Chains A and B, each alone.
Chain A
Amino acid sequence: METLLNDFSPGLFAVSTILLLALIALMVKFAWKPILNSLEERESGIENALAAAENARKEMQNLQADNQRLIKEARAERDALMKEARDISNNIISEAKEGAKEVTAVLIEKAQASIIQEKQAALAEIKKNVAELSIGIAETVIRKELSNKEDQLKLVEEILKDVTLN
C-alpha cells in the first residue's frame, strides 16, 4: 500500500486529467457526434425503406384484390347484360313471330275474302256475259229463224235446257 501511494504521481494525475478531458472533447466533437449521427441516419433510413417496402407490398396486395373484385364485378355485369340482351332478343323474336302470324292470318283472310269476292264478281260477269251472249245469239237466231216456228221452239227449248243447267 505504501509503495502504491508512493507510486501515485499527482503530476501525472493532473496531466492525464487535462489530456483526457481534451481527448474526450475532441473525440466527441470530431468523431463520435458525426459518426453516431450518420449511423442513426443510416439506421432510420433503412427502417424507413423497409417500412416503405412493406407499405408498397400491402398496397400492391390491396390493388390486386381490388383488381380481382373489379374483374369479378365486370364479369358479372357482362353476364347480366348478355342475359338481358338474350331475353330481349328472344322476346323480340317471339313477338315478331306472333305479329307476323297475326298479320299473315289477317292477310290470308283478306285474300280469301277478296278471292271470294273476285270469284263472285267473275261469276256475275260471266253470267252477265253469257246472258248477253245468249241474248245476242237469241237475237240473231230470232232474227234469222223467226220464219220457222218449229225451229224457234226447238231453239228456245235448247236454250232453256242450257239455262237450267246453270
Chain B
Amino acid sequence: MKIAQKTIKFLTITAIALFTTASFAVNSDQKHDTENDGGRVNTKNEVDAYILHHIKDSHDFSLWSYTNDAGERKHVGFPLPIIIWTTEGLVTFMSSEFHHNDDGHVIVEKKGLKFAKIHSKIYELDQEATTVSFDADHHATNAHKVLDFSITKSVFGIILIGLLLLFWFSRLAKQYKTKQVPTGFARVLEPLVLYVRDEIARPNIGDKHYRRFTGYLLTVFFFIWVLNLAGLTPLGFNVTGQLAVTACLAIFTLIIYSASGTKGYWMHMLWMPGVPILIRPILAIIELAGALIIKPFSLLVRLFANISAGHIVVMSLIAIMFTLKESLGVVGATGLSFVLSFFILLIEVLVAFLQAYIFTMLSALFIGMAVDDHAEAH
C-alpha cells in the first residue's frame, strides 16, 4: 500500500514535470564564456563544478541545454525574475539578461548600477569598475553581494509545491462536505494525514495539546516530503537542500516550542529543581544551548545534509557515464551508471520520506517536551 502511494505521488510529479516541460519556451543564447566546447560537461572537473552548481540555488529554471549544428548553446527552460535590494534601492529585471553566464563576465546595468552573477550570487560592482576582477581565491575584489529577494528556482519550487499542496488538500477537505469516505486521489491523501496525526503528532505531543500543533506538523511534513520527491525528478529542485530553507523551517519549530513552553519547561531549563544550587547555573547554560541552538541546528543540518548528499551521490553516479567512458567503454559506463543511479534513486525515494518523517517527528517531540506537564513527571 505504501509503495503504491509513493508510486502514485511520484507519477503525479513526473506527469507534472512532463506537462510543464511541454509548455516551456525554448530560448537560445550564445554562450558567452571562454570555453570552446560550448558548455558541455565531460571532464571530471566540469562534472564537479556542475554538481556544485546544481545543489546551489539558481536564478533561472533550466531543464537541459544542448549545442545545435551552428555551434550555438541552446538552453531549454525559462528565466525567473531577479529582485534585489541595492545601494539605490529595489532593482528588478529578468535573469535572462545574464544570458546563463555564471562567472561574472556579463554585466547588467540598471539604475546606473552594474551587476554581475558569480556562482549563483548577484554582485553589485563598485562605482568606477567596469569588469569584475578576482583575487587568487577567485573572490571578487571590486564587487559586493546584494540582498537577493529574487524568485529563484527554490522560491519557484516552494510556490509551485505550495500551490499543489493547497490544491490537493483543499480538495480533500471539500470532499468531506458531501461524503464520509473520500474518493480518487484524496483517498490516498487521507491515510497520510491520519498517519501524521496518529503516529507523529499525537504520541509525541500528547492527547491534550496535539490538536494545536497538528496543522503546522502536517504542513511541514508534506512540504518537505513533496519537495524532496520533486528534487528527485528531472525538474532538479534542491529546495530542501538549501540551508536558508531548512534554517527557516528549524526556526519555525524553535519559535513554536519556545512560545508554547509551559512554566515547568522553563523552570526546568533555567533553574533545575532537585540539584545543588551551585550546579544550577551551569545546567541552565547547557539546557539553554540545547534548546535554543543545538535542537534547531540539528534539525536544519540533518535535512540540508541528507538532501544535498543525496543529490550529489545521484549526480556523481550519473556522471560515471562520462568519467569512466574511457576505461569501461560507452556501453559499460552507461550501463554501470544506469544500474547504480537507479538503485540510489530508489534509496533516495525512501530518504525523501524518512527525512520528512524525522523532521516532523523531532519537531513534534520538541513541542511535546515543551508543553508537557513537568510537575507530573517528577
Q: Which residues of chain B are near A11, meaning CB under 8 Å?
A: 84-85, 147-150
**Can you name the residue of chain A whose Cβ is closest to the Cβ of B84?**
A11
Cβ–Cβ contact B155 & A19, under 8 A:
yes
User: Interface-forming stretch among B43-51, B167-175, B290-298, B322-330?
Assistant: B167-175
Q: Which residues of chain A are near B249, meaning CB under 8 Å?
A: 20
Question: Whole-angstrom distance between the alpha carbons of A91 and B371 in the complex?
Answer: 88
Given known pairs A17-B248, A19-B162, A23-B223, the reply for A35 and B173 (CB within 8 Å) is yes
Cβ–Cβ contact A20 & B244, under 8 A:
no
Q: Which residues of chain A are near B152, meaning CB under 8 Å?
A: 12
Question: Whole-angstrom distance between the alpha carbons of A12 and B242 in the complex?
Answer: 9
Cβ–Cβ contact B243 & A31, under 8 A:
no
Question: Whole-angstrom distance between the alpha carbons of A28 and B147 in the complex?
Answer: 31
How distant is A86 from chain B, measured CB to nearest CB, in Å? 64
Cβ–Cβ contact B248 & A20, under 8 A:
yes
Tell whether A165 is near chain B: CB-to-CB under 8 Å. no
Cβ–Cβ contact B158 & A19, under 8 A:
yes
How distant is A42 from chain B, measured CB to nearest CB, in Å? 6
Given known pairs A10-B147, A12-B152, A35-B193, the reply for A20 and B252 (CB within 8 Å) is yes
Q: Which residues of chain A are near B84, meaning CB under 8 Å?
A: 11
User: Interface-forming stretch among B91-99, B213-221, B268-276?
Assistant: B213-221
Q: How large is the interface on A (under 10, 10 to 19, 20 to 34, 35 or more residues)?
A: 20 to 34
Cβ–Cβ contact B244 & A32, under 8 A:
no
Interface secondary structure of A, over-half rule: helix
How distant is A10 from chain B, measured CB to nearest CB, in Å? 6
Q: Count A-B contacts at CB 8 Å.
A: 115
> Scoring A residues 10 to 30 as 1 if CB is less than 8 Å from chain B, else 0, what string do you get?
111111110110111011101
Interface centre among A12, A13, A16, A38 (most CB of B within 10 A): A12
Cβ–Cβ contact B158 & A20, under 8 A:
yes
Cβ–Cβ contact A27 & B165, under 8 A:
yes
Tell whether B57 is near chain A: CB-to-CB under 8 Å. yes
Cβ–Cβ contact A24 & B216, under 8 A:
yes
How distant is A129 from chain B, measured CB to nearest CB, in Å? 122
Cβ–Cβ contact B214 & A16, under 8 A:
no
Cβ–Cβ contact A9 & B57, under 8 A:
yes
Q: Which residues of chain B are near A8, meaning CB under 8 Å?
A: 243-244, 247
Cβ–Cβ contact B165 & A4, under 8 A:
no
> Scoring A residues 35 to 60 as 1 if CB is less than 8 Å from chain B, else 0, what string do you get?
11011001000000000000000000
Tell whether B154 is near chain A: CB-to-CB under 8 Å. yes
Tell whether B180 is near chain A: CB-to-CB under 8 Å. yes
Question: Whole-angstrom distance between the alpha carbons of A35 and B151 in the complex?
Answer: 31
Tell whether B288 is near chain A: CB-to-CB under 8 Å. no
Given contacts A15-B149, A30-B169, A39-B193, 9 further A-B contacts (CB under 8 A): A4-B243, A12-B154, A16-B155, A17-B248, A27-B218, A30-B173, A31-B166, A31-B172, A42-B180
Q: List 22 A-B pairs, Cβ < 8 Å.
A: A8-B243, A11-B148, A11-B149, A12-B57, A13-B245, A13-B248, A14-B149, A15-B149, A16-B155, A16-B242, A19-B162, A20-B249, A26-B166, A28-B215, A30-B169, A32-B169, A32-B214, A32-B218, A34-B173, A35-B173, A36-B197, A39-B193
